Amino acid sequence: MTSVYFHIVPAQAKRQHDVFVCQLIEREWQTGRTVHVHCCDDTMVASFDDLLWTFRDTSFVPHAIVGASDASGVRVMLGCANHSPATHDTLVNLHPEIPAFFSQFERVIETTGHDDNTRQLARERYRFYKDRGYALATHQP
């Protein structure tokens, strides 16, 4: 069964939140897991595509965008389509809604977001997972 990890982060600027998400992605990648980052739209995909190379001076998280010609064999994929991506170990959900394909992953990583609106949406996602009996863990940085 899928395990869900909620990272409770303090209210902060969106950039700080996104850098934190990049650090989570990097940790998953460093442990050898394959990761699918589910974004809201193409703009968010492009933003994380850039940020994964630059979030730190020594950043190096090899990644690709779902459907790109260079995506074969890459362990970190970015996408926003609402269809089931190739099987991966970890789903990092950056979308306000839970994607229908979340249960194909061993692990789902969620955050509480960067402001009151994203926190409220995270609470709703937390309730969804809890009401359905998924194993939940919370983490605070």
For residue range 31-88, list pLDDT tens digits in order. Answer: 999 999 999 999 999 999 999 999 998 888 999 999 888 888 899 999 999 887 777 7
Spatial separation of the C-alpha atoms in residues 141 and 139, rounded to whole Å: 7
Spatial separation of the C-alpha atoms in residues 121 and 127, rounded to whole Å: 10
61 CB-contact burial (10 Å; exposed 0-12 / middle 13-18 / buried 19+): buried
The domains of the chain, with CATH numbers, are 15-81+88-113 (3.40.50.10110)
Is residue 119 pLDDT above 90, yes or no?
Answer: yes
Task: Please compute the mean of the pLDDT values over residues 108-126 and round it to a whole number.
Answer: 95
Q: pLDDT of 18-32, one tens digit each?
A: 999 999 999 999 999
pLDDT of residue 11: 79
pLDDT of residue 3: 97
pLDDT of residue 82: 85
Closest CA to 78 of 105, 115, 48: 48
Name the pTM for this structure: 0.94
Conformational region of residue 134, where left means phi above 0, alpha means psi within -120 to 50, and beta covers everything else? beta
Does residue 10 or residue 139 have the better pLDDT? 139
Closest CA to 63 of 85, 41, 48, 42: 48
Is residue 127 pLDDT above 90, yes or no?
Answer: yes
User: Residue 65, Cα to own-chain centre: how many angstroms?
Assistant: 14
